[in-house]
Amino acid sequence: MSLADMLTILSATTATLLLSVTGILLGLPIGLGLALVRWARVPLANQFVRACVSLLRATPLVTLVLLLFFALPNAGIAVGPIAAAVIALTLNTSAFNCEIWRAALIDFPKDQLEAAQSVGMRRLTYLHRIVLPQIARSSLPALISEMSQVIKVTPVLAVVGVVEITRAAVRVGAETFEPLPPFLFALAIYLPIIYALLRLQRRFELNAEMPA
């Protein structure tokens, strides 16, 4: 494996990171929104979100991205590989984030709501100033775990032609007939990024266990 090959794989890191970060940044608020719709028991929307989230959590990302990439153009919506990849990734992680946020909302102590109501606080203010800061902190380990999961599924987006780290490594391996070195090199790129997230997750888990 030559230096040029290594640079090829390295340059694909941009694609991986861009896709991952976009998915993460979009998935966090969308997931929260979905969780709030379920928490507020908005009629009809509640059941709809519940079904969609259940479906999305059960669907492999590869199947979802293939569905979007091939089916949307048939319906008249032109999507390129990147668009299909981002939409699929976002839908996928939003569904998981929804469940994480929802678990935190369910566990949230009811007496705080009563305290807020007794001083006449509006529901929106209560959500914004009381609930959100606390559940953000308690959900952090699970949310970070989901972020590392986003990075770990990006290689699959190559099926629609997105060239990320793993696909670049496959190409180099196919050209040089030495598959092992480029794969190990790719691994060496993924490991520190995901490990950093793992360490971050563990730190927040420990913080959560310590008494307030």
Partner 1 sequence: MIHDFSIVWAERNLLISGLMTTVLLSFLAATGSLMLGALLSTALVRKVGVASVAARAFADAMRCTPFLLFAYLIYFGLPSLGVRFDGWWAGAVALTAYHSAYMGEVLRATWVAQPPAPLEAGHAFGFTGFRLFRRIVLPPLIFSSAPVVGNQVIQIVKDSAFLTVIALPELTHAASSIQSRHYVPFAAFIAAVLLYWAICLTIEMGVGVVGRMAESRR
Question: What is the token pair recorded at 64?
Answer: 């979802």
Q: Least distance from C-beta 195 to partner 1, angstroms? A: 5
Q: Least distance from C-beta 89 to partner 1, angstroms? A: 13
User: Nearer Cβ to partner 1, position 36 or 87?
Assistant: 87
Rounded CA-CA distance 73/75 in Å is: 5
User: Nearer Cβ to partner 1, position 139 or 166?
Assistant: 166
Q: Least distance from C-beta 47 to partner 1, angstroms? A: 16
Check binding of 141 to partner 1 (CB under 8 A).
no
Applying the rule CB under 8 A, the residues between 160 and 179 that interact with partner 1 are 166, 169-170, 173, 178-179
Length of the chain: 212
| Position among 27, 31, 141, 155 found at the interface with partner 1 (CB under 8 A) | 155
CA distances 173 to 55, 169, 178, Å, are 36, 6, 5
Query: Could you tell me if 138 and 208 are in contact, meaning their C-beta atoms sit under 8 angstroms apart?
Result: yes
Query: At which residue do the structure tokens 């991952």 appear?
Result: 20
Provide the b/e sequence for 41-72 (b: ≥16 CB within 10 Å). eeeeeeeebeeebeebeebebbebbbebbeee
Phi, psi values for residue 79, rounded to 5°: -130, 135
Residue 120 is classified by DSSP as T
| Position among 9, 19, 64, 79 found at the interface with partner 1 (CB under 8 A) | 64
Check binding of 124 to partner 1 (CB under 8 A).
no
Residue 83 is classified by DSSP as H
Applying the rule CB under 8 A, the residues between 72 and 101 that interact with partner 1 are 74-75
Q: Which residues bind partner 1 (CB under 8 A)?
A: 54-55, 57-64, 66-67, 70-71, 74-75, 148, 151-156, 158-159, 166, 169-170, 173, 178-180, 183-184, 186-187, 190-191, 194-195, 198
